[in-house]
Amino acid sequence: MTDTRSPLAPAGFPALPAIAGVTPRIARAHYKSWDRCDLTFITLDEGTAIAGVTTQSQCPSPEVEWCRDALPLGKARALVVNAGNSNAFTGHRGRAAVEAIAARTAGHLGCQPSDIFIASTGVIGVPLPIDKAEAGLDAAFAAAPCSWEEAAATIMTTDTFAKAAATKAIIGDRTVHLIGIIKGSGMIAPDMATMLGFIFTDAAVEPALLQGMLSAANGKSFSCITVDSDTSTSDTVLAFATGKAGNAPLATMDDEGAEAFHAALSDLCLQLAHLVVRDGEGASKFIEIAVEGATSDKSAHTIALSIANSPLVKTAIAGEDANWGRVVMAIGKAGEPAERDQLAIRFGTTQVAEGGLAVEGYDEAPVSAHLKGSEIEIGVNLNLGSGRATVWTCDLTHGYIAINADYRS
């Protein structure tokens, strides 16, 4: 967590409704030498359904592996999140720490260890100290319930602001609420969900349907953002549904209200994903890259990410330079079908290139004005087919280097 709030941050923390069956608490486990809480403990009433998506990294943390093993069981009683130490690449000692956290929490709640979901974020390669974990848990067990803003702040690392969003849906005659908290600022690349994110709803949703909805929502949100092209070892997004709203449980997409709930969940995921990009390390510009006319949606997605991850494109945007040649470069290196002489590129609403050439006589002034703002749009039309995709990223500034050069100190 840094002292300087991102210039792209929202004005303040949103008002979040209480979610029946969910109680957050925080405590200090002293994982780092910082004067703040670093352990979030959230209890969930019996009958809570669970769904999740985790990193595609081939070097996942033991917390990720624990969640993967527990998710198929479809039920949850608690969530424990540690900040300051990712516990990744720590061998048998890391796994022992996860098992100890699950056992102690399960003993406190009188449930099975597999009902406990665990996530950690922070430095890689340092085993999570079991004594600190257990002392922190004991403090959390005894703590009074906290606000969602406090819970969101506690899971932060290099984030500059606490992140959350809320929405709601109508299922039958009931209004159900959905909220989410998320952390993420660097090591953000879309290989499922590039951060730690936790969603809570009072809706009654069967685990299999909740999993299908979350996976689909992820594909249009968390998997469409990138800050620096680096995929974390610890990425985890979990959704918990307590069923306390009293709606008829959703089991299939044909059930009344299922489409509305899915739309609300998708909207919430997109809100949370955008917040991560807006807090990209050192970011000063929020960039939307829309690609159309590709041979397939998958091809469009790959091309959009090639543009979004290009250091040359990102630094040009940071310097407010309308260098569309760098966009051409990023399209060409993506390894997807593209015809140079059919490309069209725009910045904002201004077409700058088409047919393999700069638009004759185009005025760069409106493009320069657009790039001086904080919300940037880049549009590409490949003119090859109907595939399309949109991704979101941020610029690359000196701030990114400063944050990451000093990360462990």
Query: Which one from 121, 158, 194, 231 is the annotated catalytic residue?
Result: 194
**259 is annotated as contributing to ligand binding:** no
The amino acid that residue 134 corresponds to is E
What H or E segment, with its residue span, contains residue 165? strand 163-171
CB 54 within 8 A of CB 4: no
The tokens for 138 are 């004991």
The tokens for 120 are 């950690």
**201 is annotated as contributing to ligand binding:** no
**Residue 6 CA from chain centroid, whole number:** 17
**99 is annotated as contributing to ligand binding:** no
Category of 87 on φ-ψ map: left (φ > 0), alpha (ψ -120 to 50) or beta: left
Reference 268, options 306, 221, 210; nearest CA is 221
Query: Phi, psi (5° rounding) for residue 300?
Result: -60, -40
**404 is annotated as contributing to ligand binding:** yes
Q: Is 194 a catalytic residue?
A: yes
**183 is annotated as contributing to ligand binding:** yes
Query: Percent helix, strand and coil across the chain, each rounded to 5?
Result: 35, 25, 40
Cα gap 25→80, rounded to integer Å: 10
**349 is annotated as contributing to ligand binding:** no
Find tokens 């690609």 and name the residue.
Answer: 291
Instruction: Tell me how far CA of residue 16 lies from CA of 43, 89, 202, 212, 268, in angstroms.
Output: 17, 36, 13, 25, 12
Q: Which residues are catalytic?
A: 194
Binding residues for substrate: 157, 183, 194, 281, 404, 409
Binding residues: 157, 183, 194, 281, 404, 409
